[in-house]
Chain A
């Protein structure tokens, strides 16, 4: 053990000054917590001021950056978010930058004076990369999909004028489930955004949908008993909640002609910009 002594024999003569607390990086989390408290201390009626790409915005107390942006007429692209439903923060399309850090707008509460970067070249590139990864990860045959024209993934690709994904196509084998009477589950098109999982629970809190497996084998499953007892209205609601064509109400589809579908002429998010 003599070698150890040689290397480690040194002992400091006095305690070192280690001022961790003053370092912003290491106590970033603390800062966020403090900011949260500040938010809580404000009165209910008082709105929080913050900026997106330099534009002054107002947010409700506790509101997330994404909802606040939309309320201020600013479009931040997103795929997994559903207003009023617990955020997943899983698609990562709504990534924005705050104080040099990338974070999802849907899961970040607005803090007073927060400066949010949204429509920058860097973030556009990051979002496009994610969208492209989704296109190659699944089997997205737009020409044959019932949801084409009303699909949010496709609309995001249009928004960024994606001509071809930079990644090679995976053409994975995915299961299609058509054995219940109301809903067709086509996992080829699923983007695993969790919208269905988060949005639909029965009166006892049991899930309609859930993930199975993990990682690149991740897939959605629907509870067979619940699926067997779906109403037409519920099935329609499920189809409308799915951003892509993974959950299709049976005997429904292709009922709008090309040219008059949601995203044929209007880009996704263009309605939001018109709010202001």
Chain B
């Protein structure tokens, strides 16, 4: 059986979901037998080099670059999975969603207690920088997402069971303890 090709990324996330994937411990050896990683921080491949079977998305979309990457994933992956609370509902970054984006920028760059001496009141507006979205979007509110694995981070067992079920075509049975939102 040829190996399934998997890509992963972290958008507006903290890499905690990727860490959780590593938390499958020795099963990572079995995982390597099942899959080959393409674009992913795990093998540091920066761009898609081929069509992938599965894309794992960590994090929601808080800026235009996130949207761009997510759309790339949609184009290059047969199946897309939102992994973790941020991808599913914006997560902690989305706590800014009920505050106008102008106020957020104001606080971050001008008024906040951690702002140093930004005496020139510079706001980041270089053309090279990603543009900030009005709110943090869950991934499925931008592109079609096939599956969702909740958790902050999703339990390693959830990631493992879900991936194995998907790759082997076996029925996915999730014990109560593995589906959690925190």
Contact = CB atoms under 8 A, between A and B. Distances in A.
Q: Are A and B direct contacts in the complex by CB distance below 8 Å?
A: yes
Interface of A: 135, 139-145, 148-149, 154, 157-158, 161, 163-165, 168-169, 171-174, 188, 258, 264-267
B17 to A, nearest CB: 12
Closest 4 CB pairs of A and B: A142-B181, A171-B97, A143-B152, A164-B148
Interface stretch (B26-34, B68-76, B85-93): B85-93
Q: Which of A157, A161, A171, A173 has the most CB of B within 10 A?
A: A171
Contacts of A161: 174, 179
B149 A157 contact: no
B85 A142 contact: yes
Nearest to A143: B152
B5 to A, nearest CB: 24
Interface residues of B, number: 28
Given A139-B98, A174-B98, 13 more contacts: A143-B91, A143-B92, A143-B181, A144-B95, A148-B181, A163-B150, A164-B88, A165-B89, A169-B141, A171-B94, A171-B98, A258-B182, A264-B177
Given A141-B94, A143-B152, A164-B82, A265 B176 contact: yes
B98 A141 contact: no
B177 A265 contact: yes
Contacts of A145: 182
Nearest to A141: B95
Contact of A169 (B90, B92, B150): B90
Contacts of A163: 88, 147-150, 179
A148 B182 contact: yes
Given A144-B92, A158-B176, A172-B98, A149 B148 contact: no
Contacts of A141: 85, 91-92, 94-95
A168 B92 contact: no
A138 to B, nearest CB: 10
Nearest to A174: B98
A172 B90 CA distance: 14
B138 interface: yes
A169 B89 contact: yes
9 contacts: A139-B95, A141-B85, A141-B91, A141-B95, A158-B179, A163-B179, A169-B97, A169-B138, A264-B180
A264 B150 CA distance: 14
Contacts of B140: 164
A171 B91 CA distance: 11
B139 to A, nearest CB: 10
Interface in B32-75: none
Nearest to A265: B177
Nearest to B16: A143
Given A148-B182, A154-B181, A157-B181, A143 B85 contact: yes
B98 A188 contact: yes
Interface in B126-182: 135, 138, 140-141, 145, 147-150, 152, 174, 176-177, 179-182
B142 to A, nearest CB: 11
Nearest to A259: B177
Q: Which of B88, B176, B181 has the most CB of A within 10 A?
A: B181
Interface in B86-122: 88-92, 94-95, 97-98
Contacts of A164: 82, 88-89, 138, 140, 145, 148, 150
A115 to B, nearest CB: 30
Nearest to B89: A169
A258 B89 CA distance: 21
B160 to A, nearest CB: 16
Contacts of B150: 163-164
Contacts of A168: 141
